[in-house]
């Protein structure tokens, strides 16, 4: 529950609101870093990207590395078996990461309508499988550089995610979870897929002058 609430913090919405803008009513209407970048500019977009990734990273890291401290604060959070078995803690960490991504995608603070989970998934992946993250990041950068479509880079990276994790990590559980996360990320891009097929998707770096409400 805590990991879900952490992921549910709508960073992009809050940053835009601080500037008097409802990010849901401009651009693509998404609260993620890409739309914030287009509407509010590079500094705001980078900040939202980092904060959304941090949500996923913290959800996992707190479970994997600070379980003693968490047990002191919440004595009933972990059983003695979980504290003494790294594999069980890893399962808890994976579950926490998944919950954080669900929180970002379906935030309870915005009537369960959130972002697409790419940055938060990246944060989870950094905590669980950093080598796989580097591979997926390189794939994302390459596809975006060649196509100028951030959405296509995200979709391709999401598709490659379970394969990268499988290559670097033999855990069947993690591969299955990453396959589910990749499928969820692709599903959240269904509107982008339609625009890509129609040739109407916005290219990265294309100048836009959206009408921003005052």
pLDDT tens, residue by residue, 145-163: 999 999 999 999 999 999 9
What is the per-residue pLDDT for 67? 60
Number of domains composing the chain: 2
Asked if 76 and 159 sit in the same domain, the reply is no
Average pLDDT over residues 114-138: 94
Q: Containing domain of residue 100, as a range?
A: 1-116
- Judge whether residue 85 has pLDDT over 90: no
Tell me the per-residue pLDDT of 19-54, one tens digit each, with 9 for 90 and over.
999 999 998 889 999 999 989 999 999 999 999 999
Q: How far apart are CA 181 and CA 41, in angstroms?
A: 28
Residue 122 lies in a domain: no
Listed residue (30, 16, 22, 59) closest to 181, CA to CA: 59
**Which of residues 70 and 158 earns the better pLDDT score?**
158
Q: What is the pLDDT of residue 212?
A: 46
Separation between Cα atoms, residue 143 and residue 147, nearest integer Å: 6
Q: Is the pLDDT of residue 72 over 80?
A: no
Percent of the chain with pLDDT over 90: 71
Q: Which of 116, 144, 163 is the endpoint of a domain?
A: 116
Q: For the whole model, what pTM was predicted?
A: 0.85
Q: What pLDDT is recorded for position 43?
A: 95
Note whether 136 and 196 are same-domain residues.
yes
Do 108 and 143 lie in a common domain? no
């Amino acid at each position: 529950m805590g990991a879900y609430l952490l992921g549910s913090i709508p960073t992009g919405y809050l940053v835009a609101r601080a500037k008097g803008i409802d990010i849901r009513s401009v651009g693509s209407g998404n609260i993620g870093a890409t739309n914030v970048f287009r509407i509010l500019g590079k500094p705001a977009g980078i900040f939202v990207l980092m904060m959304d990734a941090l949500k996923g990273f913290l959800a996992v890291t707190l479970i994997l590395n600070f379980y003693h401290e968490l047990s002191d604060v919440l004595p009933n959070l972990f059983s003695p078996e979980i504290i003494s078995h790294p594999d069980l803690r890893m399962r808890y960490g994976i579950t926490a990461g998944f919950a954080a991504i669900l929180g970002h995608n379906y935030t309870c603070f915005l009537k369960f309508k959130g972002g697409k989970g790419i940055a938060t998934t990246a944060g989870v992946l950094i905590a669980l499988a950093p080598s796989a993250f580097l591979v997926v990041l390189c794939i994302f950068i390459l596809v975006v550089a060649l196509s100028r479509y951030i959405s296509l880079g995200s979709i391709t990276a999401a598709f490659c995610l379970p394969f990268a994790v499988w290559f670097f990590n033999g855990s069947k559980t993690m591969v299955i979870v990453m396959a589910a996360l990749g499928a969820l990320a692709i599903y959240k891009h269904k509107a982008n897929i339609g625009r890509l097929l129609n040739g109407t998707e916005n290219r990265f770096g294309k100048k836009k002058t959206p009408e921003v409400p005052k």
